[in-house]
Amino acid sequence: MKDLNLLVWLTQLGVSVAFPLAGFVLLAVWLHRSCGWGVWVLWVGIVLGIICAIDGLRTSLKAMDRLSRKPKDNALPPVSFNDHD
């Protein structure tokens, strides 16, 4: 089950990186064509897309790292009074 959970996070990683980059670039292309704005809007879209993609990558990797760590709840239970040697 843990592997399936990490597979879901891996898919989320791809979505978190690809969609912001593609979204900002497509928005910039649309603004350039429909509004007649200059080429500078394409560069702004690319830069914003890269920044958002890097942030999505960082956030997803932190979440995957948190999930891959073993919880401390699996530690040995405390020794009761009658179990002492």
Q: What is the pLDDT of residue 43?
A: 97
Residue 56 tokens read as 């999505």
Dist. CA 13–CA 58, nearest whole Å: 9
- Terminal CA-to-CA distance of the chain, rounded, Å? 39
pLDDT, tens digit, for every residue of 23-33?
Answer: 999 999 999 99
pLDDT bin (cut points 50, 70, 90) of residue 1 is low
pLDDT, tens digit, for every residue of 2-41?
Answer: 677 778 877 888 899 999 999 999 999 999 999 999 999 9
| pTM across the whole model | 0.71
Can you say whether residue 37 is alpha, beta or left, with left for phi > 0 and alpha for psi between -120 and 50 degrees?
beta
